[in-house]
C-alpha cells in the first residue's frame, strides 16, 4: 500500500536535504518547505500523513503551526523536531497535539527513533482518516444494506459493521427479537471479503439437538439409522463464507464444545466420521438472551462466549430509536401498498400518534407486520388508527404501564414520551391525558402537534447497497402536517 | 543594545559584545553540526546498501563539507576576534570576521550579512585602537539584528568597504531596518577617534588610515 506523503518544514537546508533522502531511501514520498506558512500552504493543497516541523522557523514557528493544524482540524500527525529542546516546549507541543517530539542533533540514534515513529504516526493518521471518511459516508444515511434507520444509535451500528466487516473477527449480535440481527449479519457478510462465499443462517433454538448437530457438521454414510448417504454440514457447505448462528445461547452445551473446537482448529469432523476436514468459516452469532445469566446458569460456555464475542454489536430496540419509526413505517407503507396494488399514500394523524406512542415490544418486525396488516385492511387512501392498531390492543388492551426513558434523553424527550404513552393509554383522549398528567389539554395537543411537526417534511434518503454502491432513494412521504402550528422544540435523536 | 553598559575598559566591553554575538550565533553552530550529522547518516546508510551507487552520496558529502566550512569560518573568526588585535588594525579583515559572526546570528532571522569591497581598495590599516574598531563594526550590526528571530524574517544587511585619502569608509545598510550606532558605545568610539554619519537606513563609519 502506498504511504501517505510526509512534509518536512524546516528552514535549515543542510538538514532537510539529508532528512528527505533518509526518508525517501526507506520508501516515503517527502516534500520540503522552509517555513510554517509554506507548510500550511502545502497542507491546504495536498494531504500529508505526517509533518516533521522544526520548532524555530521563519514566519510561523513549529508550535504556531501545530496550533493552526489543530484549530483548522487539518488531518495530519505532527512530529516536532528541534535543536532547542526544553521541557516547556516539549510539554507544550505534546499538549497541543503533537504526535511526538525529537531533539536535534539528528544522529543515527535519533534518526532511527524517527524512522520508528513515522510508521506509527502514519498508522494513526490512516486510522483517523478511515474514521473520518466513514463518518462522512455514514452521515445522512437512512439505509445500510438491508437495515433501515437514521437514528444515532443505528448509525453507530453501521459504523461498527463498516469497521468490523473486512476483518475475520467473530461477531456477537445482541438485541431483542425483531430488531434485525440477521440483517446485521448479512450486512457483515456482504461487506466482508467473504461476500462471494455462501451465507448460511441457522436458528439454534428451532432445531432439536441431533438435527442441529447434523446441520452444522454433516454426517458420514451409516452414521446413524437411516443415514444412507453422506451429508455435508453448514461448516463444509459454507467454507469460504459465513455462518450465522441465531439464538446461539439456545445451543446445547455439548454442541457448544464442538463448535468451540471447530472455531479454534478450523477443522470439523462429520457425525460418524473419523477424518478431520479443514474449513474456512467466519462465525456470526446472535442472541436476545442475557448472556451473563446464561453463563452463570451453565447454558452458555464462557470460553465459547469469549470466542464468539470478539466484537459485540448491540442493536437498539425500536422504542429507543423513535426517530426511525416514521422512516420505517413510511417505507413499509410504500412497499406493501405497492405489493398489494393499493394507492395508500399516508397515515392519518391519529395513526401516527399511535405509531409513535406504542412501545413496540416486537420491534421492527412487529411494526412491519402492523403496517402490512393495515395496508391490507385499509379501505381508503390513508391508514387510520382502526387499520393500524391491532384489535387486541384497542381500548384498555396491552398498553404500556411503564415509560422507559433512556439515559441521555433530554427533559423534553422525557415529557414527550410521557404525553404520548399516556395519550395512547387513554385511547387517544387528550382531555383525560391532560388530567392524568396534570397539564392542560392544550399542552397535550401542543406536545402531540409539536412531535408531528418535527417529524414532518420529506426525507431524501441515501442508502448504501450491499455492493457498496450508493443509491439515491425517492423522498418518503412525511406524516400529515398538523392543523395548527405548535412551538418547536429541539429534539435529540432517539437512542 | 541595552545590555551594553559603558565599562571603562574597552577590551572588557569588546569581550562582552563578542560573547553576546556568539550566544546568538550558537544556533547556527548547532544547525551546522546537525547538518553534518544528518548528511553523514545518509552517507552511512547508503554505504550499507549494495544497490546504491557510490555517486548517490556525493551530494551529501558536499553538503556535510559545506557545513564544516561554515563552522570553520565561524570558529576562525571567533578565535581571531577573541585575541588582542594587532596594531595597526586591518579594517577589512576585521569587518569580514565581524560579518561572519553576525551572519551566523542573523541567519536565525533568515537574513544575510554581506560584505562588498571597492575594486580600487587601498590599504585598510587604521590608526584606531583594535578593540575600538571592532566595537565600532560589531555594535551596529548586532543592534540591527536585535529582535529579529525566525518568526519575523529580517532584511539583509549590506556592508560596503572603500578607502579614501584619509579614511577607510564602511557603510552598513538594510532595506527595512534602521542601521545606527548604539548610544551606549558612542562615547567610547568618539574618544577612540571613530567618526560616523547616519541617515534613515545607512550608517557610514570612517576610520583614519594608518
What's CA A89's distance to the chain center, in Å?
41
Q: Which grid coordinates are listed for B123? A: 590599504
- Is residue A468 pLDDT above 70, yes or no? no
Confirm if A183 and A227 have CB atoms less than 8 A apart: no
Is A19 in Cβ contact with B38 (below 8 Å)? yes
- Residue A248 DSSP class: G
- Which range among A137-146, A250-259, B27-36, B136-145 has the greatest average pLDDT? A250-259
> Residue A320: which pLDDT band, with cuts at 50, 70 and 90?
confident
Give the closest residue to B21 by CA, choosing from B113, B92, B90, B84: B113
- Is residue B86 pLDDT above 50, yes or no? yes
In this prediction, residue A422 carries a pLDDT of 81
A415 in contact with B, Cβ within 8 Å: no
Is A11 in Cβ contact with B110 (below 8 Å)? yes
Give the closest residue to A224 by CA, choosing from A153, A157, A272: A272
Flag the least confident range among A75-79, A204-208, A327-331, B26-30.
B26-30
- Is residue A490 pLDDT above 50, yes or no? no
Flag the least confident range among A123-127, A189-193, B24-28, B108-112.
B108-112
- Which range among A280-294, A481-495, B148-162 has the greatest average pLDDT? A280-294
- Which range among A272-281, A404-413, B49-58 has the greatest average pLDDT? A272-281
Is A18 in Cβ contact with B42 (below 8 Å)? yes
> Residue A463: which pLDDT band, with cuts at 50, 70 and 90?
very low
Query: Which tens digit of pLDDT belongs to each residue from B49-77?
Result: 888 888 889 999 998 998 899 889 888 98
Query: Cα separation of A335 and A487, whole Å?
Result: 33
Section B113-120 average pLDDT: 82
Query: What are the percentages of helix, strand and coil residues in chain B, rounded to 5?
Result: 55, 15, 30
In this prediction, residue B111 carries a pLDDT of 61
pTM equals 0.49
- Is residue A475 pLDDT above 50, yes or no? no
A85 in contact with B, Cβ within 8 Å: no
In this prediction, residue A84 carries a pLDDT of 61
What three-state secondary structure class fits A410?
coil
- Is residue A91 pLDDT above 90, yes or no? no
* Bridging pattern class, strands A77-82 and A48-54: parallel
In this prediction, residue A317 carries a pLDDT of 93
In this prediction, residue A138 carries a pLDDT of 67
Give the closest residue to A101 by CA, choosing from A51, A141, A150: A51
Report the sign of the C-alpha dihedral through residues A357, A361, A363, A365, in that order. Answer: negative
A61 chain-B contacts, CB cut-off 8 A: 150-151
Sheet arrangement for strand A470-476: A147-148, A141-144, A459-464, A470-476
| Residue A5 or A477, more confident | A5
In this prediction, residue A200 carries a pLDDT of 92
Is A14 in Cβ contact with B32 (below 8 Å)? yes
Contacts of B75 (CB under 8 A, 6+ apart): none
> Residue A466: which pLDDT band, with cuts at 50, 70 and 90?
very low
Question: What residue of A is the nearest CA neighbor of B45?
Answer: A22
- Is residue A304 pLDDT above 70, yes or no? yes
In this prediction, residue B105 carries a pLDDT of 55
> Residue A457: which pLDDT band, with cuts at 50, 70 and 90?
very low
- Provide the chain A residues 11-70 that lie in CB contact (below 8 A) with chain B: 11-12, 14-15, 17-19, 21-22, 25, 56-61, 64
Q: How far is B202 from chain A (nearest CA, A)?
A: 25
In this prediction, residue A393 carries a pLDDT of 67
ipTM: 0.72
In this prediction, residue A402 carries a pLDDT of 64
Flag the least confident range among A286-295, A456-465, B74-83, B94-103.
A456-465
In this prediction, residue B14 carries a pLDDT of 87
In this prediction, residue A81 carries a pLDDT of 86
Section A68-93 average pLDDT: 81
- Across the interface, of B30, B59, B151, the residue whose CB is closest to A104 is B30
- Is residue A427 pLDDT above 70, yes or no? no
- Is residue A209 pLDDT above 50, yes or no? yes
B63 in contact with A, Cβ within 8 Å: yes
A15 chain-B contacts, CB cut-off 8 A: 31, 34-35, 38
- Residue A271 DSSP class: B
In this prediction, residue A426 carries a pLDDT of 74
In this prediction, residue A62 carries a pLDDT of 87
Amino acid at each position: 500500500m502506498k504511504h501517505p506523503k510526509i512534509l518536512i518544514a524546516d528552514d535549515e537546508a543542510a538538514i532537510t536535504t539529508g532528512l528527505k533522502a533518509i526518508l525517501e531511501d526507506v520508501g516515503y514520498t517527502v516534500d520540503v518547505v522552509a517555513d510554517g506558512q509554506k507548510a500550511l500552504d502545502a497542507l491546504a493543497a495536498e494531504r500529508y500523513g505526517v509533518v516533521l516541523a522544526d520548532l524555530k522557523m521563519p514566519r510561523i514557528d513549529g508550535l504556531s503551526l501545530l496550533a493552526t493544524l489543530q484549530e483548522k482540524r487539518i488531518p495530519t500527525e505532527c512530529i516536532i523536531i528541534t535543536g532547542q529542546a526544553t521541557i516547556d516546549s516539549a510539554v507544550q507541543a505534546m499538549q497541543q497535539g503533537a504526535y511526538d517530539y525529537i531533539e536535534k542533533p539528528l544522529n543515527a540514534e535519533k534518526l532511527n527513533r524517527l524512522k520508528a515513529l513515522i510508521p506509527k504516526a502514519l498508522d494513526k493518521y490512516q486510522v483517523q482518516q478511515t474514521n473520518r471518511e466513514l463518518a462522512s459516508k455514514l452521515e445522512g444515511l437512512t439505509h445500510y444494506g438491508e437495515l433501515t434507520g437514521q437514528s444515532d444509535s443505528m448509525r453507530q451500528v453501521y459504523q461498527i459493521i463498516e469497521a468490523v466487516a473486512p476483518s475475520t473477527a467473530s461477531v456477537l449480535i445482541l438485541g431483542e427479537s425483531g430488531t434485525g440481527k440477521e440483517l446485521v449479519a448479512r450486512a457483515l457478510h456482504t461487506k466482508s471479503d467473504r461476500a462471494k462465499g455462501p451465507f448460511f443462517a441457522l436458528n439454534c433454538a428451532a432445531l432439536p439437538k441431533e438435527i442441529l448437530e447434523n446441520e452444522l457438521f454433516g454426517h458420514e454414510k451409516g452414521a446413524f439409522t437411516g443415514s444412507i448417504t453422506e451429508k455435508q454440514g453448514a461448516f463444509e457447505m459454507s467454507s469460504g463464507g459465513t455462518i450465522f448462528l441465531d439464538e446461539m445461547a439456545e445451543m446445547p452445551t455439548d454442541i457448544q464444545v464442538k463448535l468451540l473446537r471447530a472455531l479454534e482448529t478450523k477443522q470439523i469432523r462429520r457425525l460418524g466420521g473419523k477424518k478431520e476436514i479443514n474449513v474456512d468459516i467466519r462465525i456470526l452469532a446472535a442472541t436476545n438472551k442475557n448472556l451473563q445469566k446464561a453463563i452463570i446458569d451453565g447454558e452458555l460456555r464462557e470460553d465459547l462466549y469469549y470466542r464468539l464475542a470478539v466484537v459485540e454489536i448491540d442493536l437498539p430496540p425500536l422504542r429507543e430509536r423513535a426517530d426511525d419509526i416514521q422512516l420505517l413505517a413510511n417505507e413499509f407503507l410504500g412497499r406493501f401498498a405497492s405489493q398489494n396494488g393499493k394507492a395508500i399514500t399516508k397515515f392519518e394523524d391519529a395513526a401516527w400518534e399511535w405509531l409513535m406512542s406504542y412501545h413496540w415490544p416486537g420491534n421492527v418486525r412487529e411494526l412491519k407486520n402492523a403496517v402490512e396488516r393495515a395496508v391490507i385492511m385499509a379501505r381508503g387512501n390513508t391508514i387510520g388508527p382502526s387499520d393500524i392498531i391491532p384489535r387486541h390492543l384497542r381500548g384498555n388492551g396491552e398498553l404500556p404501564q411503564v415509560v422507559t426513558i433512556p439515559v441521555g434523553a433530554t427533559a423534553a424527550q422525557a415529557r414527550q414520551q410521557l404525553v404520548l404513552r399516556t395519550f395512547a393509554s387513554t385511547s387517544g383522549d387528550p382531555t383525560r391525558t391532560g388530567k392524568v398528567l396534570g397539564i392542560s389539554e392544550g399542552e397535550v395537543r401542543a406536545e402531540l402537534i409539536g412531535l408531528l411537526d418535527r417529524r414532518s417534511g420529506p426525507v431524501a434518503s441515501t442508502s448504501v447497497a450491499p455492493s457498496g454502491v450508493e443509491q439515491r432513494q425517492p423522498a418518503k412521504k412525511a406524516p400529515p402536517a398538523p392543523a395548527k402550528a405548535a412551538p418547536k422544540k429541539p429534539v435529540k435523536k432517539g437512542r | 543594545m541595552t545590555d551594553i553598559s559603558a565599562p571603562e575598559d574597552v577590551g572588557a566591553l569588546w569581550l562582552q559584545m563578542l560573547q553576546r554575538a556568539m550566544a546568538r550565533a550558537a544556533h547556527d553552530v548547532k544547525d551546522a553540526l546537525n547538518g553534518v550529522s544528518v548528511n553523514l547518516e545518509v552517507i552511512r546508510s547508503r554505504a550499507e546498501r549494495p544497490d546504491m551507487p557510490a555517486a548517490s552520496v556525493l551530494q551529501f558529502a558536499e553538503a556535510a563539507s559545506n557545513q564544516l566550512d561554515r563552522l570553520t569560518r565561524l570558529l576562525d573568526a571567533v578565535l581571531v576576534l577573541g585575541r588582542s588585535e594587532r596594531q595597526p588594525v586591518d579594517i577589512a579583515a576585521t569587518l569580514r570576521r565581524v560579518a561572519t559572526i553576525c551572519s551566523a546570528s542573523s541567519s536565525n532571522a533568515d537574513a544575510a550579512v554581506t560584505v562588498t569591497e571597492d575594486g580600487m581598495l587601498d590599504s585598510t590599516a587604521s590608526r584606531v585602537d583594535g578593540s575600538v574598531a571592532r566595537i565600532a563594526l560589531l555594535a551596529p550590526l548586532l543592534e540591527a539584528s536585535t529582535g529579529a528571530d525566525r518568526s519575523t524574517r529580517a532584511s539583509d544587511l549590506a556592508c560596503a568597504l572603500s578607502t579614501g585619502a584619509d579614511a577607510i569608509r564602511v557603510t552598513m545598510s538594510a532595506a527595512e531596518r534602521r542601521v545606527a550606532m548604539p548610544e551606549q558605545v558612542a562615547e567610547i568610539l568618539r574618544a577612540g577617534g571613530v567618526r560616523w554619519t547616519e541617515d534613515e537606513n545607512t550608517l557610514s563609519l570612517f576610520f583614519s588610515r594608518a
